[in-house]
Amino acid sequence: MRNITGPPVEHDDFFDRPKEIARLQRELSNSANLRINAPRRVGKTSLVLRLCEICQQQQWTAVYLNVEDSADELSFAEKLLDSLHHGGLHPDSISRCAILFRKARQALGGVKVGAGIDLEMGEVDDPDHSTLGRALESVFRKIEADGRQVLIVIDEMPELLLAMTHQDHGQQRVGRFLHWLRALRQSYRQHIRWIFLGSIGLEGFVEERNLGKTINDLTPFILDALSAQEADAFLEKLGTDNHLPLPPDIRQEIIRRVGWPLPHHLQIVFHALVDSGVTTADAAALEKACAFLLRPENLSQFDTWRQRLEEQFSVPDATVAKAMLNHLSQHAKGRTREQLLNAIMAAHPQSEASKVEEQLGRLSIILQRDGYLMENGGRQAFRSFLLREYWQRRRP
């Protein structure tokens, strides 16, 4: 297992999570389509990539696509079609659709997609290919008829949906697109399974826009950080495989300092140890590594946690969410809801208390779901000690 701190890990670099894999396989065998609910950096993508490997070994066709850089329904369709093609699924139908999509893209030129999933494909001799949605449905109809078990994993779907909301008629298009996707899953459900995941929660996105019905057929799958026992085994293997063995007391101290053992956070602490040039991992080396990790020039590796707030929330909600996190970063043991409300009202005395209180309740749930906060004994606090230390250093 290599010390990888950036991209998802695959093959021998993946630290096995047999219980989670078994749960996913059980859900798929029960004909479930899934949405993985988990905070960022918990290892969602790495887990589903391992699942895809296992499915392929069991004679499934498993395709994975990341739609983070897709801007609209047509770019989503093109990426989906390309992934199905690489999976070897009905190449003739896919090739025909791909030609239609290219023609549609050329006809649009630099114009943004305005008709959404109902985008017309131009003059075609088959009514099943008259629109973008129908063209894709014709491919799925043939894949379903083949009888092969197919798993489609779509990563970063909320990123695509957020991009669409910022375009012309974005809210209406997102609604039509999600309803169309749900109908697709319902129509072709005998042999095709879907998994959706992303660094922004799909559940939170649809709830904010009253679109919950569009994903009510997706079974939620909860994925959390490693247990203390798993984190210890993770660190032991990481040290052994990278020629810097970690004694039991150092492994426990790393887990204590991290506070919430995400695989990524364990990796970056180990990376800081290696970067320090030590040949033996002891308490002094760990202290130096943690200090190095939180130096100003290294804080950027946590910046996505801050940037996501502005991408995910409206300006008023992002302002309150950052105010909550700024305040909580100064209190390691957390704060009560009343203390949080008082702190935000003191900073924004012109605000209406009842509206701020409503915001706090709503945002607290989202921030807990996305891995920023946890609630214990009526107090909210940062879930990750590392993230709290980062926020202290980054706050105004």
pLDDT per residue as tens digits for the range 64-113: 999 999 988 989 999 999 999 999 887 788 888 888 888 887 777 655 55
What mean pLDDT, rounded, does the chain reach? 89
| Predicted pLDDT at 126 | 66
pLDDT at 233: 97
Least confident span in 30-34, 44-48, 384-388? 384-388
Q: In angstroms, rounded to a whole number, what is the distance separating the alpha carbons of residues 349 and 258?
A: 36
Residue 335 pLDDT: 95
Q: What's the confidence (pLDDT) of residue 50?
A: 97
Residue 199: pLDDT over 90: no
Please write down the HEC assignment for all residues of the chain. Answer: CCCCCCCCCCHHHCCCCHHHHHHHHHHHHCCCEEEEECCCCCCHHHHHHHHHHHHHHCCCEEEEEECCCCCCHHHHHHHHHHHHHHCCCCHHHHHHHHHHHHHHHHHHCCCCCCCHHHCECCCCCCHHHCEHHHHHHHHHHHHHHHCCCEEEEEECHHHHHHHHHCCCCHHHHHHHHHHHHHHHHHHCCCCEEEEEECCCCHHHHHHHCCCHHHHCCEEEEECCCCCHHHHHHHHHHHHHHCCCCCCHHHHHHHHHHHCCCCHHHHHHHHHHHHHCCCCCCCHHHHHHHHHHHCCHHHHHHHHHHHHHHHHHCCHHHHHHHHHHHHHHCCCCCCEEHHHHHHHHHHHCCCCCHHHHHHHHHHHHHHHHHCCCEEEECCEEEECCHHHHHHHHHHCC
At residue 396, does pLDDT exceed 70? Answer: no
Percent of the chain at pLDDT above 90? 58
8 Å CB contact between 161 and 174: yes
- The DSSP bridge partners found for residue 222 are 37
CATH number for the 302-394 domain, one of 1.10.10.10, 3.40.50.2000, 3.40.47.10, 3.30.420.10? 1.10.10.10
Beta bridge partners of 37: 222
Residue 209: CB atoms within 10 Å:
15
Centre a 10 Å sphere on the Cβ of residue 28 and count the other Cβ atoms it contains.
20
Mean pLDDT of 142-168: 92
pLDDT at 38: 81
Has residue 36 got a pLDDT over 90?
yes
Structure confidence at residue 123 (pLDDT): 58
For the domain spanning 11-222, the CATH number is 3.40.50.300
CA pair distance 78, 84, nearest whole angstrom = 10
Closest CA to 231 of 213, 210, 206, 256: 256
pLDDT at 124 over 60: no
Cα gap 256→185, rounded to integer Å: 43
Give backbone dihedrals phi and psi of 184, rounded to 5 degrees, phi first.
-60, -45
Please give the Cα distance from 41 to 308 (Å, whole number).
Answer: 13
Structure tokens at 253: 């101290």
Give the global pTM: 0.87
Please name the residues in contact with 207: beta carbons below 8 A apart, sequence gap of 6 or more: none
Strands 373-376, 335-336: pairing is: unpaired
At residue 349, does pLDDT exceed 70?
Answer: yes
Question: How many C-beta atoms surround the C-beta of residue 214 within 10 A?
Answer: 21
Query: What pLDDT sits at residue 41?
Result: 82
Sheet hosting strand 335-336, strand order edge to edge: 335-336, 379-382, 373-376
What is the pLDDT, as a whole number, of residue 358? Answer: 92
Lowest-confidence segment of 152-156, 232-236, 270-274 by average pLDDT: 270-274
For the segment 304-316, the average pLDDT, to the nearest whole number, is 86
Contact 94, 81 (CB under 8 A): yes
- Asked if 316 and 370 touch (Cβ cutoff 8 Å), the reply is no
The angle at the Cα of 222, spanning 218 to 228, to the nearest 5 degrees, equals 165
What contacts 245, CB < 8 A, 6 or more positions away?
239, 281
In this structure, which amino acid lies at residue 348? H
